[in-house]
Amino acid sequence: MFDAVIMAGGGKAEPLTELEGVSNKAFIKVNGRTLLGYILDALSRAPSVARIAVVGPTRELAELQQEGYTFTAVEETGGMLDNAMAGLEAVCGERLCLVVTADIPLLHESVVETFLELCAPFDGDFYYPVLSRESCESVFPDTKRTYVRLREGDVTGGNLALLNPAWFIKNRHRLEMFIANRKKPLKLLRLLPLSFVAKFLLHRLSIADLETELSRMMGMTVRAVPCTLVEIGTDVDKLSDLEAVRRALSDRR
């Protein structure tokens, strides 16, 4: 069994939240249910998920609990890493934990279970999904994503990961630079050895190379999880994203 932490902190105001009349995009409604509600439904129905903690605004989380959702509410405390720390401290720190953003409403319990199956045998500290451009664009051809060119092709990441809470709590400072530049691949490359950068520029860098170098830099065992689970790569950042997931969720109904 695994615990799960949902990141539903407010962050700064953005055009999408202003357009939808909310202060936090996790509470944008689609078909009468918040984006966060879809995540909670998926995780609560997943057989491998035990305890769920949600980091976010107290009042809105309390309202969701009154609607019947079961989770531990954790008051948001600041930036992404501060909130992640608070969430991880609220669950069991002795086993791997899922960390999920609150803006991937296409998440489904079967997707959660498939991702966990792909992470087996669970001998690492950090598992991160890797999706190809082809798999993403085959489902959402008009959605814009940030891709990196590797030997295997153009890839992007997902908004769900499996990690070792004990490592995170002890080493969160190592993640600061990666979080700050997570959508700026060229800036991240400046932190890496020249041979690594050369491979990247020549499109010879592989997923295995990334695993090896990140494991070295972070002092942990990093596992990439190649998959076609586009649901975990389809987050809601823009109006076009919201329109795409609204169509998809309407079709699912």
**DSSP per-residue letters across 67-82:** TT---EEEE--SSHHH
| Weakest mean pLDDT among 9-18, 27-36, 177-186 | 177-186
Structure tokens given for 141: 């051809």
Contact 101, 192 (CB under 8 A): no
Q: For the residues 156-180, what does the mean pLDDT come to?
A: 84
Q: Give the pLDDT score at 179.
A: 67
192-224: burial string, b at 16+ Cβ within 10 Å, e else: beeebeebbeeeebebebbbebbbeebebebbb
3-state SS class at 236: coil
144 versus 92: the higher-pLDDT residue is 144
Return the percentage of the chain with pLDDT > 90, whole number: 60
Q: Give the pLDDT score at 79.
A: 84
Is pLDDT of 72 > 80?
yes
| Weakest mean pLDDT among 2-6, 59-63, 180-184 | 180-184
φ and ψ at residue 137, rounded to 5 degrees: -75, -20
Specify which of 15-29, 112-126, 164-178 reaches the highest per-range mean pLDDT. Answer: 112-126
Alpha helix segments (H runs only) across the chain: 15-20, 35-45, 58-66, 80-89, 109-119, 133-139, 165-171, 176-180, 185-189, 194-201, 207-218, 239-252
Please state the pTM of the whole predicted model: 0.91
Segment 191-244, tens digit of pLDDT: 778 888 888 888 889 999 999 988 988 888 999 999 999 999 999 988 989 998
Q: Give the pLDDT score at 175.
A: 76
Mean pLDDT of the chain: 89
φ and ψ at residue 82, rounded to 5 degrees: -60, -45
User: Smallest Cα–Cα separation from 214: which of 249, 247, 177, 240?
Assistant: 177
Contact 140, 228 (CB under 8 A): no
1 versus 183: the higher-pLDDT residue is 1
